[in-house]
Amino acid sequence: MKIRKVDIREAPLIQAIINQYAKRGKLLPRALGDIYENIRDYFIAEVDGKIVGCCALHVVWEDIAEVKSLAVLKEFSGQGIGSELLSSALKEARSLGITKIFTLTYEQNFFAKKGFKVIPSSSLPHKIWGECIRCPLFPNCKEVAMEYIVEGAAGS
């Protein structure tokens, strides 16, 4: 397995992986335009030349970023690919000097095992609510807000 940054031509593949989970209500769907606009945020996991997972690290402010769209094709789940994608995002956050990472998730146990703690949604930056209010589930979203404190971040 190889984790790497995405090539812009792979955006439709990322969308297909994300939307596979969105159809089951596990992730928010992503428009192709949104993926293109944020292409630098994405990491992908590749197994034998096939893209099998993705994860985005979206910088929100000087010290905070969001982990978004962490997804692995169902037939490759349970192999540690999601953990490796998250690890790559956290490593990049550390190198950028980001000290806090948050996520909105239905997979609380996965993130808790990685050191994320549940926080009140109201403590999240107001900037993210712009995306939330466009969501069809707003204001009845059941995602859990979680936060990770980055140890050894550059500049901290």
pLDDT digit string, tens, across residues 18-56: 999 989 888 888 899 999 999 999 999 999 999 999 999
Cα radius of gyration (the chain): 15
Average pLDDT of the chain?
89
Domains and CATH numbers, the chain: 2-149 (3.40.630.30)
pLDDT, greater one: 86 or 151: 86
Q: Rounded to whole angstroms, what are the CA distances from 54 to 14, 33, 89, 122, 144? A: 7, 16, 10, 27, 20
| Centroid of chain to Cα 79 | 18
The DSSP string of 130-155 is HHHTTSTTTTS--PEEEEEEPTT-TT
- The pLDDT, as a whole number, for residue 48 is 96
- The pLDDT, as a whole number, for residue 87 is 97
pLDDT digit string, tens, across residues 120-132: 877 776 556 556 5
